[in-house]
Amino acid sequence: MNKHSIFFKKRIANGETLYGIFCSVASPINVEQLALAGYDFIIIDLEHTLFSTSQVETMILAARAMCLDVFVRVPLNANHLVLPLLDAGVTGIVFPRIENAQQAQEAVNYCHYMPLGQRGLNSTRLNRYGIDDLASFVQQATNDTIVVAMIESLEGLEQLDEILKVDGIDIILEGAADLSQSMGIPWQTSHPKVKEKVQEMYAKTKNSQKHFCAIPRQPEDIAAWKQQSVQLFVLGDDRSIIRRAHQNHLNAFKEI
Catalytic annotation, residues: 48
Examine residue 186 and say whether the peptide bond preceding it is cis (omega within 30 degrees of 0).
Answer: no
What is the rounded CA–CA span in Å between residue 18 and residue 73?
A: 18
From 165, 172, 168, select the one nearest 151 (Cα to Cα): 172
Strand partners of residue 171: 148, 211
Chain center to CA of 4: 14
